[in-house]
Structure 1
Amino acid sequence: MKTSSISLRVADFLKEHPPFDMISDEDRISLAGLGRVKFHEGGEIVYEEGDERGRFAYVVQKGTVNLYRKSSRGEDLIDVRVEGDLLGFLFDSPDTPYRCTVKTASDTIIYAIPQQKLREIGENYPEVGEYFRQYFGEGFKPRRQTNTPDNARGIDERPAHWLQKAGPVNERASNRLLTYKLDEPIHMVAKRLAPGLQEAIVAVDQNQLPLGIITESDLSARVATGLTSVNAPASEITSRSLITVRPGMSAGQLILEMLHHRLHHLIVTEDGTVNSPVVGIISDRSIQMLHGSIPTFLAKEISVAETPHSLAILRDRADELLLHFIEGEAQVYWLSDFVAEVDGAVLERAVQLCREKLKAEGFIEPDVRWAWLGMHSEGRKERLLRSSQRTAMIYDELPEGNAGLEAENWFKHMANEVTAMLAPCGFPLDPEARMATNFDWRGALSVWKERYRAWIACPIENDILRKTPYFDARCLYGDQSLLDELRIHIQECIHQNPNFIPILANDAMDNLPPITIFRDSVMDQSGTLWTSIDTKLHALMPLVDIARVFALSLNLDDTTFTPIRFKRVARHLVEQRELFEEAAEAFSHAIRLQTRLGLRRGDDGQYVKPEDLPRTEVQRCKAIFKTVVRLMEFSAEYFELEGKSLS
């Protein structure tokens, strides 16, 4: 057969596999023309760990090869490569010796391609270069960001990129700023708003400090109805409740502020506080005009919903928006905050409606501090897909006698009513009753303190493995100070029981990730093949568990979101900073994958067959597994877990 025919056959083969499907036909044929075809019988070594790297990289054309790495036990199988897989190439480190031994498992045909040519391809095609970095990396690497004139801040140019932009919104905020004095007559203020350039106007003093705001709706509700004269001073209809923000905040940040405060207008000041001059005003309508559909309408509609059914419809709408944003590659940090704000608004409205119902039925609300807590994924702001309620109630000590019994009765009925109202919104009851309706998950602060003290003092006897998600508590409604006091108590108990953290760390090692994925199968540590990737057990759960252990051990309990936990740990353990930042990125990608699958399929997104994923996505999953293993290895060393094997 002519050489040209062989090159064309090789080029056709490469076209079917990433990253060669990302390059032009001309470059692919040129690459194939420089290659060689090599045959290996089963059991032959292609190259050995520690050897000097040769000038060729390899693509498996037919057969199976195993990758081994030396350990104290001999050689550990770390990966399996089959048709279309790559071997022996480091894009950024061409002189690094081979990091593993490659041995054929069966008769195998391999294409050998000059590494220098592959490097040129990776430099000419940035997406190919990123693929090489991910493929041959030791863990999950964030995608590198480019800096172009349209991307000066290094933000990925993706459909949801506008969420991270600040320029257009801030420019409009300053251009549309209108101000007035409190003693001006209302009709003069109204004339300034009349041209329709802005929907609100800001009251300022002689130093341009903000004093209040009037919106178009204020004029309609107070003046157009005749309740207030047009000649009255503007102070009579001025709202003094101000929310100020700093200049330069992105559109996504501004949307979250509006959702959180249930507002449609934000005032921009020089330093973001009410004690500095006003420089602009931002409305949700402005963001809408610049960027299209935004979710701020949800907060308003949720706040006036009258029935569980109407709340459920609005919560469904939030999922539609979530899928839109996640398909557009919005940052997981923003997605987490967005869902938390929406669910917080739903809970707040549910509490309001239930309060009104109990009052109408003759129940008297106790005059004590109380809070509704979210646990598990909701406590970490990681419940992007709706799931069972995992809640708790905490309150001040109740008086003795009938007053105390009446107060406890109110909390019991409130827990039952709120839980029942959330169920139609897509948050079913927990099958194990780990909710505020259960007396064990509702109680005074002293009761909760004793509960955690017992768990920490006797973790094995109290089955701590099932209790660890309750160390991820977040105040969803009510008095945050109660949870703050409980957290201080938890840290004191941990300090008094030094064995608690190692036990927690040991339990965090239970969910080992698979070794690899090949031929649409998932190979676990025992060599057993499975048909699906378990996004929860293989990626999310081990990352959540390890992040929790480090956060508790370093007293970083004021945040529960797993990626932020990892980033904060990275600042404390600087020698392992890269590993913890990789872990944060790995978690972000895994939860994005699970959420996207769940929203598309209408399920929990836990299981996915490799054959249903693009090859590039399969490679990212394998990179996540590597990061989890490295994280476990470091954790076992850091917490001195003797005899803990990861194989």
Structure 2
Amino acid sequence: MRSGAVELRDSDGTLSDKLGEGDLYAGLCEADSAGTGVTVEDSLLYLLDCRALASLREASPAFDRQFAADRAERLHRASAPRAAAGLDVLSVKAADLLHREPVTLDGDMNIRQAAQLMSAQRVSSVLITEGEGLVGLITDSDLRHRCLARGLGADSPARSIMTPDPVTLDGEEVLAEALLRMTRLQVHHLPVLIRGRLAGMLTLSDLARHQGGSPVLLATDIQRAADIETLTAISRRLPELQLQLDNANTRAAHIGAAIASITDALTRRLLELAESRLGSAPVPYVWAAGGSQGRQEQTVHSDQDHALIIADELNAPDREYFTELARFVSDGLNACGFPYCPGNAMASNPQWRQPLQVWGDCFTGWIERPQPQALMHASIFFDLRAVHGEAALLHTLQEQVLAQTRANRIFIAHLTAAALQHRPPLGFFRNFVLIHDGEHDATLDLKRRGLLPIVDLARVYALSEGIGAVNTRERLKAAMAAGALGRDLGGSLLDALEFIAGLRIHHQSDCLRAGRAPDNYLPPDTLSALERSHLKDAFRLIQSLQATLGNRYQAGRFG
């Protein structure tokens, strides 16, 4: 279709599809084609001979994929070209990176024997075992800090300086998960288990050799930073990290999680610096990230969204401590390139810095009285994830919230109605609906009109089914497992999410290479014909699911 619009109808007259500018249609070359096409406005079509088309499809698998009869299959192939080609380095399984048998030591041996074994084997760590079970881990850092620095005798038991029950990695887990775990826990060694048995050790050096630029190295520098000035300097490397990950053919889902892990590390270090200035917190608290950071779907230097949940024993005189704490962290994040939230959804706002009971009352009010303002808050604070502090405070709140949302169909209906406000930018005849506001004229807003509709849909499924996950992919997978979302449709929605997020990452990389601040506004004329077609497939899928969700959760629910 060069221009114009065509309606495709089945033999019984049922509308089956609509074609607009740039669309491709191979139905005329199918033996069982029995439908008709009706032009609804002046149209210009280019016709390719069926024999020529067949020859091209046979010669080029990539060309053939474009004409797959099933839109879902086309979208699936478009969303994962890197994984299919084995190019995404963060999708490699941990087991595939193991290059030697595990170096182990019986827990009854002494520290000297542990050091001698590490030296002889040329390794930076040794695994402490009892029989075939893993009970601990000793690293060269443990030898320095837990033995030499404390004057502990070399004849002391090795188990006296080990890290007991170390965090492990399953051999089937991918490199992306290893990086996130190391970054989150500030560790450089992860024992790997295959079918429950110890198989080897994965180290930061292994990951660096395989991947190159590493989020773990950046997080390590963050942990060592002594002041905000140093953190600010380190944070300037974050755009380069995102660019490196994109250049390394990393999936958008993995990039989002990696960027969020660095923001987590910055937040934790700022909280530690604040506590070193203010003293220990008077009562337990948890700092929780919301929005894209909370969902682990973040791109470089997005706005701040966070909250502070404080234990109920908070006294009035202690409130000033948390006021100063929140202000220090919010100002620090802003200095590091994460702008203040335009809607002030930050812990520095007293409204979002409250004891657990007050938070519970807030959520109950939003659920029982789902006004527009409450639903706007829901889009941020129903996606909270613990970053630092007493995570049990957030878990208690989330359990209470999910119990209420699952039983309140009126709230879910209102939440669905709010979610349907974010429509994909696709017109009636598959033409892109572009922004026309001057600064971003003639562009597609991939975040608000592409990604947020999927994020909103996943949130509706999560809250209606009592699903505790906050990551969009995890929510959709859990909804599929619960039977609330069909596996075929859910799988296609996951593909659409990855494809649109990938386009956004690529666009931001182009911005960075050109020396511009990354944004979400994509000029459609920068897309190839295939990318335009796949993006339209993704938008149509979202439209279809929005219609399904609206029928399921809204019908008769507002009475």
**Shorter-chain TM band:** 0.7 to 0.9
The CA distance in 1 between the partners of 2:286 and 2:146, in whole Å, is: 36
Identity of aligned residues (%): 23
Matched, 1:329 2:249: yes
TM-score (norm 2): 0.86
User: What residue identity is the alignment partner of 2:341?
Assistant: D
How far is the alpha carbon of 1:375 from its aligned partner?
A: 1.8
CA shift in 2, pair 1:547/1:140, >3 Å: farther
How far is the alpha carbon of 1:316 from its aligned partner?
A: 3.2
Residue from 171, 176, 188 that aligns with 1:247: 171
Q: Is the 8 A contact 2:406 2:465 kept in 1?
A: no
Which of the two has higher C-alpha Rg?
1
User: What residue identity is the alignment partner of 1:129?
Assistant: D
What runs of 5+ residues in structure 1 fail to find an aligned partner? 1-59
Matched, 1:80 2:20: yes
Matched, 1:378 2:314: no
What runs of 5+ residues in structure 2 fail to find an aligned partner? 436-440
The CA distance in 1 between the partners of 2:95 and 2:33, in whole Å, is: 43
**3-state SS, counterpart of residue 498 of structure 2:** helix
The alignment of Structure 1 onto Structure 2 pairs a total of residues equal to 548
Q: Is the 8 A contact 1:66 1:77 kept in 2?
A: no
How far is the alpha carbon of 1:245 from its aligned partner?
A: 2.8
Residue from 346, 362, 368 that aligns with 1:451: 362
How far is the alpha carbon of 1:450 from its aligned partner?
A: 1.4
CA shift in 2, pair 1:287/1:112, >3 Å: closer
The CA distance in 2 between the partners of 1:162 and 1:462, in whole Å, is: 39
How far is the alpha carbon of 1:143 from its aligned partner?
A: 0.9
Residue from 67, 74, 82 that aligns with 1:132: 67
Matched, 1:113 2:49: yes
Matched, 1:307 2:231: no
Q: 1:173-199 CA distances to partner (integer Å, 9 max, x unpaired)?
A: xx2522223454544433333346322
Q: Comparing 296-305 with 595-604, which one deviates more in the overlay? A: 595-604
Residue from 410, 432, 457 that aligns with 1:522: 432
Q: Is the 8 A contact 1:371 1:393 kept in 2?
A: yes
CA shift in 2, pair 1:605/1:204, >3 Å: same
The CA distance in 2 between the partners of 1:571 and 1:226, in whole Å, is: 51
| 1:229-248 paired onto structure 2 within 5 Å | 230=154, 233-235=157-159, 237-240=161-164, 242-248=166-172
Counterpart residue number, 1:45: none
Counterpart residue number, 1:571: 481
Counterpart residue number, 1:51: none
User: What residue identity is the alignment partner of 1:533?
Assistant: L
Q: Is the 8 A contact 2:443 2:524 kept in 1?
A: yes
The CA distance in 2 between the partners of 1:229 and 1:68, in whole Å, is: 83
How far is the alpha carbon of 1:142 from its aligned partner?
A: 0.9
Residue from 529, 532, 540 that aligns with 2:451: 540
How far is the alpha carbon of 1:443 from its aligned partner?
A: 0.7
Matched, 1:169 2:97: yes
Counterpart residue number, 1:620: 534
Q: Is the 8 A contact 1:213 1:240 kept in 2?
A: yes
How far is the alpha carbon of 1:397 from its aligned partner?
A: 1.4
CA shift in 2, pair 1:242/1:535, >3 Å: same
How far is the alpha carbon of 1:351 from its aligned partner?
A: 0.8
The CA distance in 1 between the partners of 2:304 and 2:476, in whole Å, is: 26
How far is the alpha carbon of 1:559 from its aligned partner?
A: 0.9
Counterpart residue number, 2:438: none
Q: 1:149-169 CA distances to partner (integer Å, 9 max, x unpaired)?
A: xx9xx9422432464234531
Q: 1:428-473 CA distances to partner (integer Å, 9 max, x unpaired)?
A: 1123322111111111111111112222222137552454332222
The CA distance in 1 between the partners of 2:322 and 2:528, in whole Å, is: 50
The CA distance in 2 between the partners of 1:225 and 1:575, in whole Å, is: 56
Counterpart residue number, 1:263: 187
How far is the alpha carbon of 1:358 from its aligned partner?
A: 0.5
How far is the alpha carbon of 1:227 from its aligned partner?
A: 3.8
Q: Is the 8 A contact 1:515 1:625 kept in 2?
A: yes
The CA distance in 1 between the partners of 2:135 and 2:522, in whole Å, is: 55
| 1:256-405 paired onto structure 2 within 5 Å | 256-269=180-193, 271-272=195-196, 278-359=198-279, 365-367=281-283, 369-398=284-313, 404-405=315-316
Residue from 451, 464, 472 that aligns with 1:562: 472
How far is the alpha carbon of 1:482 from its aligned partner?
A: 1.8
Counterpart residue number, 1:89: 27
Counterpart residue number, 2:123: 198
The CA distance in 2 between the partners of 1:231 and 1:90, in whole Å, is: 82
TM-score (norm 1): 0.75
Residue from 595, 608, 628 that aligns with 2:522: 608
The CA distance in 1 between the partners of 2:43 and 2:163, in whole Å, is: 79
How far is the alpha carbon of 1:314 from its aligned partner?
A: 2.8
Alignment RMSD, CA only?
3.6
Matched, 1:68 2:4: no
The CA distance in 2 between the partners of 1:141 and 1:262, in whole Å, is: 37
Counterpart residue number, 1:159: 87
Q: Is the 8 A contact 2:306 2:347 kept in 1?
A: yes
| 1:23-102 paired onto structure 2 within 5 Å | 60=1, 64-68=3-7, 78-82=18-22, 85-89=23-27, 95=32, 97-98=34-35, 101-102=37-38
The CA distance in 1 between the partners of 2:488 and 2:142, in whole Å, is: 52
Residue from 490, 495, 507 that aligns with 1:580: 490
Q: 1:242-299 CA distances to partner (integer Å, 9 max, x unpaired)?
A: 2233334333332222222211112234555xxxx64322222233334544332223
CA shift in 2, pair 1:622/1:335, >3 Å: same
How far is the alpha carbon of 1:112 from its aligned partner?
A: 3.8
**3-state SS, counterpart of residue 433 of structure 1:** coil
**3-state SS, counterpart of residue 313 of structure 2:** coil
Q: Is the 8 A contact 1:140 1:626 kept in 2?
A: no
Matched, 1:632 2:549: no
The CA distance in 1 between the partners of 2:72 and 2:557, in whole Å, is: 24
Matched, 1:478 2:389: yes
CA shift in 2, pair 1:462/1:335, >3 Å: closer
CA shift in 2, pair 1:571/1:202, >3 Å: closer
**3-state SS, counterpart of residue 138 of structure 2:** strand
How far is the alpha carbon of 1:495 from its aligned partner?
A: 5.1
How far is the alpha carbon of 1:555 from its aligned partner?
A: 1.5
Residue from 468, 474, 480 that aligns with 2:379: 468
User: What residue identity is the alignment partner of 2:68?
Assistant: R
**3-state SS, counterpart of residue 623 of structure 1:** helix
Counterpart residue number, 1:589: 499
More helix per residue: 1 or 2? Answer: 2
| 1:416-427 paired onto structure 2 within 5 Å | 416-427=327-338
Counterpart residue number, 1:16: none
The CA distance in 1 between the partners of 2:428 and 2:121, in whole Å, is: 59
CA shift in 2, pair 1:214/1:455, >3 Å: closer
CA shift in 2, pair 1:565/1:69, >3 Å: farther
CA shift in 2, pair 1:266/1:609, >3 Å: same
The CA distance in 2 between the partners of 1:79 and 1:230, in whole Å, is: 77
The CA distance in 2 between the partners of 1:410 and 1:565, in whole Å, is: 36
Counterpart residue number, 1:141: 75
CA shift in 2, pair 1:122/1:312, >3 Å: farther
The CA distance in 2 between the partners of 1:211 and 1:223, in whole Å, is: 19
The CA distance in 2 between the partners of 1:90 and 1:587, in whole Å, is: 31
Residue from 398, 407, 421 that aligns with 2:318: 407
User: What residue identity is the alignment partner of 1:251?
Assistant: L
The CA distance in 2 between the partners of 1:574 and 1:289, in whole Å, is: 42
Counterpart residue number, 1:212: 136
CA shift in 2, pair 1:596/1:232, >3 Å: same
The CA distance in 1 between the partners of 2:145 and 2:433, in whole Å, is: 65
Q: Is the 8 A contact 1:185 1:230 kept in 2?
A: yes
User: What residue identity is the alignment partner of 2:309?
Assistant: I
**3-state SS, counterpart of residue 292 of structure 2:** helix
The CA distance in 1 between the partners of 2:286 and 2:442, in whole Å, is: 44
User: What residue identity is the alignment partner of 2:350?
Assistant: F
User: What residue identity is the alignment partner of 1:317?
Assistant: R
